[in-house]
A and B are shown apart, each in its own frame.
Chain A
Amino acid sequence: DAGVIQSPRHEVTEMGQEVTLRCKPISGHDYLFWYRQTMMRGLELLIYFNNNVPIDDSGMPEDRFSAKMPNASFSTLKIQPSEPRDSAVYFCATLPGQRVIGELFFGEGSRLTVL
């Protein structure tokens, strides 16, 4: 079984540019989460979806961040415009609906560097 697939694995961009991170969840998993990891703040939940519907976006830092899940096979996290403080590793994680809460399957992450 393929795991959670994220792309790109590494992205280096300049301040002000648009960044789009992509996630392909495990087939059949009903929940999808976007996390951000930094040394200073650790792991932060940005947003999560259930059956493609955004349930909680209270962790999205500001309007520059947006996330979509147009279908069960694909989600994007977009930052526009990007800033140096957005530099982090962004993880996508999924959860089968029938499992106990908390047993997440993580992708390998997208490392973003904003210069």
Chain B
Amino acid sequence: GNSVTQMEGPVTLSEEAFLTINCTYTATGYPSLFWYVQYPGEGLQLLLKATKADDKGSNKGFEATYRKETTSFHLEKGSVQVSDSAVYFCALSGTGGGNKLTFGTGTQLKVEL
């Protein structure tokens, strides 16, 4: 079945540091890939997405590239801010999964001044 593996957190960075959160997946067919963000006390929000191989999703300075050869969708940001502190979830929806999303376990990011 489909699965998503994320790096464990928490990840603690200083403001303006470079961010990478690793995500790899296992899926049948050609899944769509997503990053969601959850701020404290809130529900998840879609951050970015990619629907086919080599697509790059981007939003709010975050980027992720759909790499089919390495089954990866790593999240990156060149310069993080304190306001980026949140939990980040990688997710996929595949041709075999109907309308269901499979989420990773989430990676907590803490950005300090």
A, B co-complexed: yes
Identify the A interface with B (CB < 8 A).
4, 31, 42-43, 45, 48, 50, 55-56, 91, 93, 95, 100-104, 106-109
Q: Out of A48, A93, A100, which one reaches B43, CB within 8 Å?
A: A93
Identify the B interface with A (CB < 8 A).
32, 34, 41-46, 49, 51, 89, 91-93, 98-101, 103-106
Per CB-CB distance, the 10 closest pairs between chain A and chain B, nearest first, are A106-B43, A43-B103, A102-B93, A42-B105, A106-B44, A101-B93, A108-B43, A102-B34, A107-B43, A101-B99
A104 to B44, CA, bound (A): 9
Q: Are A102 and B43 in contact (CB under 8 A)?
A: no
Q: Across the two chains, which residue of chain B brings its CB closest to A95?
A: B99
CB within 8 Å for A50 and B45 given contacts A42-B105, A43-B89:
no
Residues of B within 8 A of A106 (CB): 43-45
Q: Across the two chains, which residue of chain A brings its CB closest to B41?
A: A108
Among B32, B42, B44, B105, chain A packs the most CB atoms within 10 A around the CB of B44
Known: A50-B99, A108-B42. 16 other contacts (CB 8 A): A4-B43, A42-B103, A42-B106, A43-B89, A43-B106, A45-B101, A55-B99, A56-B98, A91-B43, A101-B101, A102-B46, A102-B93, A102-B101, A103-B34, A103-B46, A108-B43
A105 to chain B, nearest CB (A): 8
B25 to chain A, nearest CB (A): 13
A42 to B88, CA, bound (A): 12
Residues of B within 8 A of A93 (CB): 43-44
A81 to chain B, nearest CB (A): 27
A102 to B48, CA, bound (A): 11
Q: Out of A45, A56, A103, A108, which one reaches B49, CB within 8 Å?
A: A103
Residues of A within 8 A of B43 (CB): 4, 91, 93, 106-109
Among B34, B89, B99, chain A packs the most CB atoms within 10 A around the CB of B99
